[in-house]
């Protein structure tokens, strides 16, 4: 298996249009990012709510991106996009990471839900929802996971019973990012309650777009170890949703979900693109605040190992991109890339604390906190990468089953 993967060719070449894409993006960032970063805090969000402050800043940045048609590069030109290629998406991630650009307000909406509405939605649905996603007028969330259906989404049990021109929803979703800030959400619900017992759990699932302000929809924020609350439990109690909000036909929800997760999983594997810049920034901060750490042999070895793993992951992502460009299946590269993202996120968070020494544990708000207390916040926060976008254990099972083909017990 290892030998077969090693012999797979990787295409590192950029086409002239890719070089032009990079040059245009760099020119736009040079003209817009410094000015934006000098603005400081945006809006009048209470200082105690870091999540809301961050989201307001991302809203402003997405709107700035949208002015230059850089917010939704995958979208059709008529909807403000650029119909970017796979390679141009890779370049986009590289340049944004290198420039230390802020995140965007509607990440779920731009990268996952918007493309699904474009593919599965009616013209009326596109006109209703796509402009608000792009302009950051409203925030969107995505609700798949449930208490009994986390990594195995087909076990979901939130029901949607058809009642004339509406569906009545009952059930619970869990770990729904920023649901308490969202106006709209894309949810998977079960319209055939007998499918699981009949061994047809992938059938009878429907995708519904939900107005989060509907009576009977309650968001319960989940306080995290960081002290913030980005994730939510979403409870439906006889919530009435118009049937016209269904995305695709009834029972097509699994196909909609797989398209959405395909965007998410490939995107997550590519998150490691920015890790080289992160490591460079960590070393620069150590030189400034705790230079003696860089002379320690064990620290130097850990830096070298992290650099090597980041370079390995870059090549892994390049191989995945090569397979995409050739129309081939991207496993096990995507699963391996996700594991690398989880591992490196936590490795770098731990290394950053040790590089900074005592000042690394100073939290945001203190006069001596380095980079706003990023290291102290990031260390516990990165634990989520073991389950985010696919649990580590599940990714390993997929690799064992499909790639290595280990025997089952």
Instruction: Kindly report, residue by residue over 303-330, the tens digit of the pLDDT.
Output: 999 999 999 988 887 787 777 667 777 7
Q: Average pLDDT for residues 258-265, to the nearest whole number? A: 55
Give me the half-sphere count of Cα atoms (radius 13 Å) on the Cβ side of residue 239. Answer: 26
Tokens of 208: 């519904």
The CA distance from 404 to 221, in Å, is 40
Q: Average pLDDT for residues 358-379, to the nearest whole number? A: 89
97 neighbors 110 (Cβ within 8 angstroms): no
> Residue 42, by phi and psi: left (phi above 0), alpha (psi -120 to 50) or beta?
beta
Confidence of residue 211 (pLDDT cuts 50, 70, 90): very high
Instruction: Kindly report, residue by residue over 386-408, the tens digit of the pLDDT.
Output: 887 778 888 888 888 877 888 88
pLDDT at 325: 67
DSSP state of 179: G
* Cis amide linkage into residue 332, ω under 30° from 0: yes
The CA distance from 125 to 108, in Å, is 17
Catalytic one among 95, 264, 278, 333? 264
pLDDT exceeding 70 applies to what percent of the chain? 90
Classify domain 257-403 by CATH architecture: Up-down Bundle (1.20)
Q: What is the pTM of this model?
A: 0.82
pLDDT at 129: 97
The CA distance from 116 to 134, in Å, is 14
**Which of the listed ranges 63-72, 141-150, 336-345, 369-378 does the model predict with the highest average pLDDT?**
63-72
The CA distance from 300 to 286, in Å, is 12
Helix (H, G, I), strand (E, B) or coil at 178: coil
Give me the half-sphere count of Cα atoms (radius 13 Å) on the Cβ side of residue 7. Answer: 4
Q: Which CATH code of 1.20.120.420, 3.40.50.2300, 1.20.1630.10, 1.10.540.10 fits the domain covering 2-135? A: 1.10.540.10
The CA distance from 221 to 393, in Å, is 26
Q: Average pLDDT for residues 114-130, to the nearest whole number? A: 94
pLDDT at 294: 97
CA 283 vs. chain centroid, Å, equals 26
Q: Do 140-251 and 257-403 have matching folds?
A: no
Q: What phi, psi does 154 have (nearest 5°)?
A: -70, -10
Tokens of 225: 């170890």
Has residue 258 got a pLDDT over 80? no
Q: What are the sequence ranges of the domains in the chain?
A: 2-135, 140-251, 257-403
Instruction: Kindly report, residue by residue over 148-201, the tens digit of the pLDDT.
Output: 876 667 789 999 999 999 999 999 999 899 999 999 999 999 999 888 888 888
pLDDT exceeding 90 applies to what percent of the chain? 56
pLDDT at 406: 87
Confidence of residue 7 (pLDDT cuts 50, 70, 90): very low
pLDDT at 12: 60
Confidence of residue 54 (pLDDT cuts 50, 70, 90): confident
Q: Average pLDDT for residues 30-36, to the nearest whole number? A: 95
CA nearest 258: which of 159, 335, 317, 188?
188
Q: Average pLDDT for residues 213-229, to the nearest whole number? A: 92
CA nearest 22: which of 75, 73, 81?
73
61 neighbors 102 (Cβ within 8 angstroms): yes
228 part of the active site: no
Has residue 262 got a pLDDT over 70? no
408 neighbors 400 (Cβ within 8 angstroms): no
Has residue 64 got a pLDDT over 90? yes
pLDDT at 2: 39
Has residue 243 got a pLDDT over 90? yes
DSSP state of 79: G
Has residue 134 got a pLDDT over 70? yes
Instruction: Kindly report, residue by residue over 282-298, the tens digit of the pLDDT.
Output: 999 999 999 999 999 99
Question: Mean pLDDT across the chain, nearest whole number?
Answer: 87
The percent of the chain in helix, strand and coil, each rounded to the nearest 5, is 55, 10, 30
At which residue do the structure tokens 């007998």 appear?
A: 194
pLDDT at 151: 62
CATH number for the segment(s) 140-251: 2.40.110.10
> Residue 245, by phi and psi: left (phi above 0), alpha (psi -120 to 50) or beta?
alpha
């Amino acid at each position: 298996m290892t030998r077969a993967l090693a012999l797979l060719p990787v295409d590192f070449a950029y086409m002239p249009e890719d070089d032009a894409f990079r040059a245009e993006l760099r020119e736009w960032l040079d003209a817009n990012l410094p000015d934006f970063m000098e603005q400081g805090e945006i809006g009048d969000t209470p200082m105690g709510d870091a999540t809301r402050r961050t989201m307001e800043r991302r809203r402003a940045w997405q709107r700035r991106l949208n002015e230059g048609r850089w917010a939704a590069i995958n979208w059709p030109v008529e909807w403000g996009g650029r119909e970017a290629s796979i390679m141009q998406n890779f370049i986009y991630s590289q340049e944004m990471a290198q420039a230390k650009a802020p995140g965007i307000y509607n990440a779920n909406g731009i990268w996952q839900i918007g493309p699904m509405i474009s593919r599965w939605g009616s013209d009326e649905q596109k006109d209703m929802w796509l402009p608000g996603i792009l302009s950051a007028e409203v925030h969107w969330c995505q609700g798949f996971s449930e208490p009994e259906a986390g990594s195995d989404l087909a076990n979901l049990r939130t029901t949607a019973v058809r009642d004339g021109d509406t569906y009545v929803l009952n059930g619970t979703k869990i770990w729904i990012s920023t649901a308490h800030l969202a106006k709209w959400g894309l949810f998977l619900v079960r319209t055939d309650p007998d499918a699981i017992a009949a061994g047809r759990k992938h059938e009878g699932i429907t995708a519904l777009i939900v107005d989060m302000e509907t009576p009977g929809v309650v968001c319960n924020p989940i306080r995290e170890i960081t002290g913030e609350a980005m994730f939510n439990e979403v409870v439906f109690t006889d919530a009435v949703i118009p049937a016209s909000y269904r995305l695709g036909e009834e029972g097509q929800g699994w196909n909609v979900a797989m398209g959405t997760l395909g965007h998410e999983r490939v995107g997550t594997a590519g998150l490691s693109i920015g890790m080289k810049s992160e490591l460079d920034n960590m070393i620069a901060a150590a030189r400034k605040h705790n230079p003696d750490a860089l002379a320690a042999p064990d620290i130097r070895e850990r830096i070298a190992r992290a650099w090597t793993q980041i370079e390995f992951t870059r090549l892994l992502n390049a191989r995945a991109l090569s397979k995409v460009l050739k129309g081939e299946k991207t496993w096990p590269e995507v699963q391996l890339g996700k594991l690398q993202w989880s591992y490196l996120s936590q490795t770098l968070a731990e290394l950053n604390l040790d590089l900074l020494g005592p000042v690394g544990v100073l939290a945001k708000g203190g006069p001596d906190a380095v980079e706003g207390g990023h290291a102290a916040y990031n260390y516990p926060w990165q634990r989520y990468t073991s389950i985010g976008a696919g649990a580590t254990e599940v990714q390993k099972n997929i690799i064992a089953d499909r790639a290595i083909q280990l025997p089952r017990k």
